[in-house]
Amino acid sequence: MLQNYFKIAARNLWRNKLHAFINVLGLSIGLGACLVIYLLAEYELSFDTFRTDKERIYRIYSSFDGVFSGFNRGVPTAMASLVEEEQQLIESSAAFQVVSGSIKVDDRDLLRQQEGIAIASPTYFDVFPDYEWLVGNPVTSLSEPYKAVLTEERAKQYFDITDPGEAIGQQFHFRDSLPLTVAGIIANIPKRTDLDFEMFISHSTIEASWLKNNYEPNNWSNTNSSHQVFVKLQSGIEPEQVEATLGQDAKALYKKDSYFGDDVDAGFHLQSFTDLHYNADLSIFDHSREPAHMPTLYALLSIAGILLFIAIINFINLETAQASRRSLEVGIRKAIGGTRKELIIQFLLETLVLTVVAVAVSLALAKVGLRYFADYIPEGVGLDITSPLHLSFLLGLTLTVALLAGAYPAFIMSGYKPAFALKGKAKNSGHVNLRRGLIIFQFIIAQALIFGNLAIGQQLNYMLNKDMGFEKDAIVYFYVPWQSANEKKIILANELRAYPEIKALSLHEQTPASSSYSTTVMKYQSKSGEEIKYSTYRKFGDTSFIHLYGMDIIAGRNMVPSDTLYEILVNEAYAEYLGFDNPADALGEQLDYGDGKMVPIVGVVDNFHFSSLHDKIEPVVIGSDIDDYGIIGLKLQITGQEGAHIQAILERMEQSWNKIYPGEPFEYNFLDETIANFYRSERRASVLSTFAMSIAILISCLGLLGLISYTTAQRTKEIGIRKVLGASVQQLVALLTKDFVILVLVAAVVALPIGWYMSKQWLQDFAYHIHLDWWMFVLVTGAAILIALLTVSFRALRAALANPADSLKYE
Amino acid sequence: MLQLTDIERYYRNGLRKTWVLNRVNLNIKEGEFVTIMGPSGAGKSTLLNILGLLEAPSGGNYEFLGERVDKLSEKKRSELHKAYMGFVFQAYHLIDDLTVYENIETPLLYRGIGKKERKSMVAEILDRFNIVAKQDLFPDQLSGGQQQLVGVARAVISKPRLLLADEPTGNLHTKQGDQIMELFRELNKDGVTIIQVTHSERNAAYGTRKIELLDGNIQEDQYLESASAL
């Protein structure tokens, strides 16, 4: 019996190749999209799920409120010893430094900027015991100073060996001058972990070496995001208990022992280890991968659901459109003894066969999709046919989709009354309304997505082209090494100034618009005696800063050259905030720069965007302090120049750099690209919505195609009669397509408000955004109508052109 | 074998009822070969559908083998189809996607008959109907007469006690039609009760009883002298 069903299914597919093709295609596109998104979600959600006792592990992080404020994923170095004392609450703790730097093995080339290095004590492996030790163990390998443990892969890479054991006892240098000896080898770390350290340096090395100058152990003043403390709580202990005891102790100690103790209120909190991969505020570690963005993930999952849903709807739609063709078979089978149950099973099996084919096609589509979206998808995402999880997902997906897509058509078709079915007159009128409903639903989703896509595209375009209030073209900037001596910066700047191709150059703290920022609380004593305190944004720089970026002084003058804070420029927004409607009135006023140092306002610059367009323009101050300048920005003379020419300038700049900062990488940025990168997540959203929109449109078109095929087939006779009576081809095409335009318009009534509302919500994230104009509504529905008409017109035309003699011959 | 009492069938058209069958009373005994005749629209096919449980009557009483069957569930009806009935249609109604062999085999599949037995039953009937050579062809590769032979073969493979045929020769040439009728007569001799609908007096002559239907009423019910008149 089963065999017979499969045979029928296969032959039926073959006989109706076009129908089957449309059906399988629609389903596989939906499935493919769903699969890609599943793989992505599964990837992000599977990080560190294998860790033993992961729900008892927490990271301690800091918060500050005062002269500086915000969160820091690290803690003061003194936290390490404090947690060790709390044994009633804490089973084990791991304090470690996340570092990066060059590696030098004797006679081999210097390996620059090696990441994934932790300076840790053996207790790290008490908190995270899931490491496989190939040689050595935590205690023997990491207790003494100047010892290192490598993964098998790193050991092979550094020492060019085949057996990782050979690395034991080998020596190498970290950051030029720290000699280390390999004392242990661990197995390669799994792909899906955020603890992706491939090298451990014994923690005792810090005290024993010059590292102690950098990492200042046992110090409450030094809070660096690289200094991490993870704790594993005793069973039954809640994180709140730890925050209440240890957190309060630490807070008190910070107040007492920290250099900032009087000015800053510190807090110490526990972050669940299972939250590590998803917390965008704290991020994972220094230089680590970006945390997964849960809202994006949820958005993706709902898109996957919607796409799959409309693909299933499409399938149902196309199947029921074909139902009358199958009704005769239903009649025959019932007459010769087939029960309804048997027919339902038969139709469900046919759907299953189609679904299996569609899943197979979707695997290929997913593969293409993953490659196409490679820029947006982490490297480890991919289908692994051997993974039981992936296999069971595929199996579950296949069965669920087959059941959802097949149940309704099977139920309807198996219910045909045999006497009618045998006459080929299965009743169908009810399904026409259902099918119209389904098409309307598809077009609601499609039009809402088109609208959203249009809004995102418009906003992106607006953001990339909006006048920022400063120049961004042909400007290159780069960071000098952290805490570089001022003399070196000046030597490099002077050398570059001599380049004829460099039109202007400035040393400054930050580019006019940047994604990171610093603020200072400034005070102003107004005429009425009121103290106006405001946390202003700092954009310090030398005197060429405003010239380089083409900012306009609307009142007063530029600062005079100075290496320390002497005079100050404010933007118009700050002048207004201080109560000067006329910017010129602010000139000569004195500002208190925090520590009581009074600085005069000598000029007011026109407002400019200090950050992405997400943020409103806020009060900004521009002062001078050479210690703070970490950026050299310069404007290139590049009008009409070739890319190769610019490349040559950059190479020469690198040579100048290498003379002053040998061994440090020269990494330059173009300002316009940096600004474009502010909107990376919006661009991602745009790509995503385009993708979802295209698929929704594609599937909806397939649905339309199915419906028009059905209606033209149903109305063949009517068309023949009308033609005989004198209807023109245009009139007939209009007759057949009019309904579809109405369907799209009905869908628009629902879709446009949804699209409008969601776009409006999205735009609220931007202080400066486009307005949703009436033309967008017209464009969206116009596009949808056009797409619908293009899809149905071919079929309609063919029906209208048919010879009426053929269509009237039957009956 | 079967007994119709006051069988009615009407269609509702708005508030109006249109009668197709009007208080039909009919008794058919096992072994009869009944021909139902009448002009188009007389209700022949409807009557046959009701007899074959493909359609339910709007009113009246239908007893089949001593049991009331006019209000059976679909499942029970299907069981009766399987156990007692075979159908032959004017348009043959073979399943396009199945070969001759598979078409004939399908009723056996629904009856849950084992593979080996199925094979021998199909082989036997193919042989008897002289269509062994066609067994792997699809319906659209056969002539009308051949298709109807397959249709009859499929109807009788499960050894039904009642064979219902709706204009079995309507789409065939006279010669092909005669062949089918000969087959029916043989089956009837073997004990199968046959009820056929036809327009053809020539076909009616093969039967043992002729019922004339007009506007949903039995106009004439006549037993024929000899089934071998031709």
Min distance A11 CA to chain B CA atoms (Å): 6
pLDDT score at A427: 54
User: Which residue segment(s) compose the domain that B158 sits in?
Assistant: 32-42+74-223
Chain A residue closest in CA terms to B51: A419
> With contacts defined as CB-CB under 8 Å, which chain B residues touch A15?
96-97
* Tokens of residue A100, six digits: 């990066």
Instruction: Match 């062949």 to its residue by tokens.
Output: B179
Task: Using alpha carbons, list the distances in angstroms from residue A116 to A197, A351, A357.
Answer: 4, 50, 44
Q: What is the 3-state secondary structure (H, E, C) of A714-772?
A: HCHHHHHHHHHCCCCHHHHHHHHHHHHHHHHHHHHHHHHHHHHHHHHHHHCCCCCCCCC
| Binding-face residues of B in 97-126 toward A, CB within 8 A | 97-98, 102, 105-107, 109-111
pLDDT score at A425: 59
| Binding-face residues of B in 6-45 toward A, CB within 8 A | none
| Binding-face residues of A in 406-425 toward B, CB within 8 A | 417-419, 422
User: What is the tens place of the pLDDT at every residue in B99-136?
Assistant: 999 999 988 888 888 889 999 999 999 998 889 999 99
Task: Report the pLDDT averaged over residues B15-40.
Answer: 90
Q: What is the 3-state secondary structure (H, E, C) of A529-556?
A: CCEEEEEEEECCECCCHHHHCCCCEEEE
User: What is the tens place of the pLDDT at every residue in B163-187?
Assistant: 999 989 888 888 889 989 999 999 9
List all residues 6 or more positions away from A190 whose beta carbon is below 8 Å from its beta carbon. A50
Alpha carbons A577 and A556: distance in angstroms, whole number: 18
- Residue spans of alpha helices (H) in A560-626: 572-577
Half-sphere exposure of B39 (CA within 13 A, CB side): 3
3-state secondary structure of A231: strand
Is B162 a member of any domain? yes
Alpha carbons A155 and A161: distance in angstroms, whole number: 8
pLDDT score at B76: 86
pLDDT score at A736: 87
Averages of pLDDT over each 10 residues, chain A, 811 residues = 78 81 88 91 90 93 80 90 89 92 83 88 93 92 94 91 90 89 93 92 92 85 88 93 91 86 86 92 85 83 88 85 79 86 89 92 92 82 87 94 90 83 62 81 91 92 90 90 84 92 91 81 84 86 93 93 92 92 92 83 94 89 90 84 82 92 86 87 84 88 83 80 81 87 94 94 91 93 92 86 69 38
Is B144 a member of any domain? yes
**Contact check, Cβ <8 Å, A342/B110:** yes
Instruction: Match 């089949």 to its residue by tokens.
Output: B64
**Contact check, Cβ <8 Å, A336/B87:** yes
Task: Using alpha carbons, list the distances in angstroms from residue A474 to A387, A505, A508, A539, A647.
Answer: 50, 12, 17, 20, 13
Q: What is the DSSP letter of A594?
A: S
Q: What is the DSSP letter of A525?
A: E
> Quick one: CA dihedral A500, A504, A508, A512, positive or negative?
negative
Side-by-side strand order, sheet with A475-479: A502-508, A631-636, A475-479, A668-670
Alpha carbons A209 and A148: distance in angstroms, whole number: 14
For residue A564, count other CB atoms closer than 10 A to its CB: 10
Is residue B27 over pLDDT 60?
Answer: yes
**Backbone Cα Rg of chain B:** 18
Q: How many domains does chain B have?
A: 1
**Contact check, Cβ <8 Å, A422/B96:** no
Is residue B229 over pLDDT 50?
Answer: no
ipTM higher than the 0.85 cut:
no
Is B59 a member of any domain? no
pLDDT score at B33: 94
> With contacts defined as CB-CB under 8 Å, which chain A residues touch B78?
334, 337-340
pLDDT score at A227: 92
Is B168 a member of any domain? yes
Is B67 a member of any domain? no
Burial class of residue A347 in the structure, from the number of CB atoms within 10 Å of its CB (0-12 exposed, 13-18 middle, 19+ buried):
buried
Contact criterion met (CB below 8 Å) for B6 and B61: yes
CATH number of the domain that residue B210 is part of:
3.40.50.300
| Binding-face residues of A in 4-63 toward B, CB within 8 A | 4, 7-8, 11-12, 15
